[in-house]
Amino acid sequence: MAIKECLLNGKKCFEVYVNGHDQRGRRIQRRKTRVETKAKAEKIEFELKRELAQIKEQRVPFRWHEWFDECMKRMRLEFMPSTVATYQQLLKWVHPHWRDKEIHTITKNDCYELIYHKCEKLPSQFTRRNILKMVKRLFQMAVEEGLIDRNPFAGIVIRVAEVEQKVLTNVEVETFLREARLSYHRFYPVWLMALMTGMRSGEMFALKWSDIDLDAKTISVTKQWTSKNGICATKSRKTRVVPISEDLSKFLKEYKLRSDYADHVLPRLSEWEHGEQSRVTREFCVGIGITAVKFHDLRATFITNLLARGESLARVMSMVGHSEIKTTNGYLRKAGVDVQGGTDKLGYKVPIVHDGNIIQIVGRQK
Q: pLDDT of 77-115, one tens digit each?
A: 888 888 899 999 999 989 999 999 999 999 999 988 888
> Which of 117-126, 245-254, 304-313, 318-327 is the most confident on average?
245-254
Contact status, residue 136 vs residue 90, Cβ threshold 8 Å: no
Q: Which residues pair with 225 in a beta bridge?
A: 231
Of 28-37, 123-132, 182-191, least confident by mean pLDDT is 123-132
The pLDDT, as a whole number, for residue 354 is 67
| CB burial of residue 2 (10 Å; 0-12, 13-18, 19+) | exposed
Mean pLDDT to the nearest integer, 344-352: 73
Residue whose C-alpha is closest to residue 196's, from 302, 338, 283, 286:
302
Burial of residue 270, with CB atoms counted within 10 A of its CB: 0-12 exposed, 13-18 middle, 19 or more buried: exposed
**Long-range pairs of 305-313 with CB within 8 A, sequence gap ≥ 24:** 305/167, 305/170, 305/173, 305/335, 306/198, 307/331, 307/332, 307/335, 307/337, 308/335, 308/336, 308/337, 310/337
Q: Write the secondary structure of the chain as one string of H (helix), E (strand) and C (coil).
A: CEEEEEEECCEEEEEEEEEEECCCCCEEEEEEEEECCHHHHHHHHHHHHHHHHHHHHCCCCCEHHHHHHHHHHHHHHHCCHHHHHHHHHHHHHCHHHHCCCEHHHCCHHHHHHHHHHHCCCCCCHHHHHHHHHHHHHHHHHHHHHCCCCCCCCCCCCCCCCCCCCCCCCHHHHHHHHHHHHHCCCCCHHHHHHHHHHCCCHHHHHCCEHHHEECCCCEEEECCEEECCCEEECCCCCCCEEEECCHHHHHHHHHHHHCCCCCCECCCCCHHHHCCCHHHHHHHHHHHHCCCCCCCHHHHHHHHHHHHHCCCCHHHHHHHHCCCCHHHHHHHHHHHCHHHCCCCCCCCCCCCCCCCCCCCCCCCCCC
- The strands making up 11-21's β-sheet, listed across from edge to edge, are 2-8, 11-21, 27-35
pLDDT band per the 50, 70, 90 thresholds, residue 20: confident
Is the CA virtual torsion 104, 110, 116, 118 positive or negative? negative
pLDDT at position 155, please?
87
Provide the pLDDT confidence category of residue 65 given band limits of 50, 70 and 90.
very high
Looking at residue 139, its pLDDT comes to 95
- For residues 107-133, average pLDDT: 84
- Which amino acid is located at 166 in the chain? K
In which band, very low, low, confident or very high, does the pLDDT at 205 lie, cut at 50, 70 and 90? very high
* Residue 356 predicted with pLDDT over 60: no
Q: Report d(CA 45, CA 55) in Å as an integer.
A: 15
219 φ, ψ (degrees, to nearest 5) = -120, 130
**C-beta separation of 1 from 21 below 8 A:** no
Measured between alpha carbons, how far is residue 365 from residues 198, 359, 362 in Å? Answer: 73, 18, 9
Q: What is the pLDDT of residue 335?
A: 61
Residue bearing the bigger pLDDT, 193 or 30: 193
C-alpha pair distances (Å), 208 with each of 145, 204, 331: 42, 9, 28
pLDDT at 345 over 80: no
